[in-house]
Amino acid sequence: MKDYRVKPGSKLTLSHFDTDDTGDYKKTDQDKANAQAVTQQLIGKLGELQERLYANGSRALLIVLQGMDTSGKDGTIKNVMSGVNPQGCKVVTFKTPSAEELGHDFLWRVHQKAPAKGQIGIFNRSHYEDVLITRVHGLISDKVVKQRFNQIKEFEELLSESGTVILKFFLHISKDEQKERLEERISNPEKRWKFNDGDLEERKLWKNYMEAFETMMAATSTEQSPWYIVPANRKWYRNLVIAEHVVDALENMKLKTPPAPTGINFDTLKIE
Amino acid sequence: MKDYRVKPGSKLTLSHFDTDDTGDYKKTDQDKANAQAVTQQLIGKLGELQERLYANGSRALLIVLQGMDTSGKDGTIKNVMSGVNPQGCKVVTFKTPSAEELGHDFLWRVHQKAPAKGQIGIFNRSHYEDVLITRVHGLISDKVVKQRFNQIKEFEELLSESGTVILKFFLHISKDEQKERLEERISNPEKRWKFNDGDLEERKLWKNYMEAFETMMAATSTEQSPWYIVPANRKWYRNLVIAEHVVDALENMKLKTPPAPTGINFDTLKIE
């Protein structure tokens, strides 16, 4: 399985990354079905590993999802995470900040939503919007952008040093693929409610967004908190790549069944 | 399907409710398998209905789970809710209140965790602990208990008038069944970490707890926010009853696909 990890400090050019890539799988129905079967197995494993994470209550996993509109953030959560016990999995969708939130630094509201020990936290959009949308629209200076990159790195270092494993996925679709997906929303009356006029305005800024993503990922991919550029034109391959990385991350924690409470002699204990 | 709903103002005697009840199903492997198949269908339906709830963003569902230790609150969440998209489902586990929480009225922390529009919220234990454990241990007077019953009813009325449908389930197991489940935790080294010394102390107060549950459910079951006494000795039947009520509640909302945004001419809209 290809890794797609962004090396810390690398210079990125997103156009060199194939949005249509399907790794070792061919773009045939047969290979698609094979990939889906593997994904299902991984999802089963994910369910077991999450139970262990929850039982241990000593580590956490934070999954950050970023990408252009229609890139599949919601679809990833639905397809990869729906088998997980919701008691141990919290999804946070970051919307336009409220007046109270704007009264604080940009990481204030994010920190509050970091996953507790034992939990998988999923950020559907995240603090990275504060160096993307704000930047593309010229709402913050280059100096502030640079400052925020450092603040983000230090914030994530705090989480990571406190036991949270962080995975950051950029769902990489092509501009043509977005066109198709938006057209599908428009032509299907059942899906029109998802259509947002603003999406077309953002689409016009595609190039600027790609540049913002490139700089941002190059600056904030670290050993402890890496970015992955996930080829996302094919939903089945996107799901496979993400399921694989999530299962890997949980397996690497090497969590065992937690020990029994001490001070109790279980062999002589009687329930009246 | 039997209803198990507590009629508002009824006088309750929990010992008259059969913890072993399996409704129209016999206690055979065949009937158990049939019930499990029906439950799986309901869970599939639940997934679809939840998507619609989320898309609409106009209503919410609050599920309250109460019951003695080992009655199956965690198991219900795992087995009935694991198919749901975690983006639309938030589980809240209420633990011993923090110093800050104790500085406020008992509903303060609960109100903050009420489900937002579009969401299913699950309370694993809830504000009802504040008229159960506190009462059994004599930490609050009868006068305060009565006051809290009213405060709870008014709080739930607020939620319900604001679009939240509330379902409250008491998972009803027998004292013998609890004994078996605790013994299973003790004898299986893989499960010992779940064992909590305090559980045995609470078990000694079984009768007091049953009385507290009886008064509490009689006082706080309303038309809008009913209690259900779910026979919970058989896990497969418990799951079926709860899945049935949750699906019913969502179906009764009669939610349609949300309308397309206005002011856009979808027939002439072109994506560049």
Which stretch of DSSP H or E encloses residue A26?
Answer: none
The three-class DSSP label of residue B63 is strand
Of A65 and B264, the structure prediction assigns the larger pLDDT to: A65
Give the three-state DSSP class for B60: strand
pLDDT tens-digit profile of B57-84? Answer: 999 999 999 999 999 999 999 999 988 9
From chain B, the residues in CB contact with A87 under 8 A are 74, 77-78, 91, 93, 122, 124
Half-sphere exposure of residue A98, counting CA atoms within 13 Å on the CB side? 5
Closest CA to B113 of B161, B159, B46, B54: B159
Reported ipTM: the value is: 0.92
Q: Is the pLDDT of residue B163 over 90?
A: yes
Q: CA–CA separation, A86 vs A89, rounded Å?
A: 5
**Residues belonging to chain B with any Cβ–Cβ distance to chain A shorter than 8 Å:** 47, 55, 74, 77-78, 81-87, 89-91, 93, 122, 124, 179, 182-183, 186, 189-190, 192-197, 200, 203-204, 257-261, 263-264, 266, 269, 271-272
Joined tokens for residue A272? 């009246």
- What is the radius of gyration, based on Cα positions, of chain B? 20
% of chain B exceeding 90 in pLDDT:
86
What are A112-131's pLDDT values in tens digits? 999 999 999 999 999 999 99
**Three-point CA angle A158, A163, A167, nearest 5°:** 80
With a cut of 90, say whether residue B134 has pLDDT above it.
Answer: yes
Residue B1 pLDDT > 80: no
* Distance between CA atoms of residues B40 and B79, nearest Å: 10
Q: How far is CA A236 from the centre of its chain?
A: 16
Q: How far apart are CA A221 and CA A8, in angstroms?
A: 5
Is the predicted pLDDT of residue A3 greater than 90, yes or no? no
In the structure, what pLDDT confidence band is assigned to residue A196 with cuts at 50, 70 and 90? confident
The answer to whether B261 and A194 have CB atoms below 8 angstroms apart is no
- d(Cα B94, Cα B112) in Å, to the nearest integer? 12
Share of chain A above pLDDT 70, in %: 100
Residue A172 forms beta bridges with which residues?
A: A231
Identify the burial level of A176 via C-beta atoms within 10 angstroms of its C-beta, where 0-12 means exposed, 13-18 middle and 19 or more buried.
exposed
Among residues B14, B12, B39, which one has the least CA distance to residue B242?
A: B39
Residue B62 contacts residue B114 (beta carbons within 8 Å): yes
* Mean pLDDT of the A205-231 span: 97
pLDDT at B110 over 80: yes
With bands split at pLDDT 50, 70 and 90, how would you rate the model's confidence at A252? Answer: very high
Q: State the Cα–Cα distance between residues A1 and A216, nearest whole angstrom.
A: 25
Helices first, then strands: H and E counts in chain B: 10, 5
In angstroms, the Cα distances linking B252 to A88, B51, B53, B61, B111 are 29, 15, 12, 11, 24
Give the residue from chain B lying closest to A262, CA to CA: B193
Q: What does the pLDDT average to over B133-145? A: 96
- Laid out side by side, the sheet with B227-231 consists of B89-93, B120-124, B60-67, B164-172, B227-231
Residue B218: pLDDT band with limits 50, 70, 90: very high
Coil vs helix vs strand at B20: coil
Among candidates B270, B237, B254, B251, which has minimal Cα distance to B76?
Answer: B237
CB A148 within 8 A of CB A195: no
What does the DSSP 8-state code read for residue B92?
E
Q: Check residue B112 and give its pLDDT.
A: 97
Does residue A142 have a pLDDT over 90? yes
User: What is the DSSP code string of A192-236?
Assistant: GGG--HHHHHHHHTHHHHHHHHHHHHHHH--SSS-EEEEE-SSHH
Give the β-pairing of A227-231 and A164-172.
parallel
| Gap from B144 CA to chain A (nearest CA, Å) | 32
Instruction: Please state the pTM of the whole predicted model.
Output: 0.95
| Confidence at A189, pLDDT banded by 50, 70, 90 | confident
Cβ <8 Å between B86 and A87:
no
Phi, psi (deg, nearest 5) at residue B140: -130, 150
pLDDT, position A41: 97
Local confidence band at B2 (pLDDT 50, 70, 90 cut-offs): confident
pLDDT of residue A245: 97
Among chain A residues, the shortest Cα distance to B74 is held by A87
| Helix (H), strand (E) at residue A167 | strand A164-172
The predicted structure's pLDDT at residue A263: 85
Residues 6+ apart with CB under 8 A from A115: A60, A61, A62, A90, A121, A164
Interval B28-35 mean pLDDT: 98
- What whole-number distance in Å separates Cα of residue A35 and Cα of residue A55? 30
Report the CATH number of the A14-252 domain. 3.40.50.300
pLDDT at A107 over 80: yes
pLDDT bracket for residue B40 (50, 70, 90) = very high
Coil, strand or helix: which one is B140? coil
pLDDT of residue B263 exceeding 90: no
Residue B39, both tokens: 């439950």
Tokens of B181: 């489940």
Tell me the residues of A at the B interface, defined by beta carbons under 8 Å apart: 47, 55, 74, 77-78, 81-87, 89-91, 93, 122, 124, 179, 182-183, 186, 189-190, 192-193, 195-197, 200, 203-204, 257-261, 263-264, 266, 269, 271-272
A159: enclosing H helix or E strand: helix A142-161
Cβ-based contacts of A95 with chain B (< 8 Å): none
Burial category of A170 from C-beta neighbours within 10 Å (exposed 0-12, middle 13-18, buried 19 and up): buried
> Please, what is the angle between helix A142-161 and helix A206-220, to 10°?
50
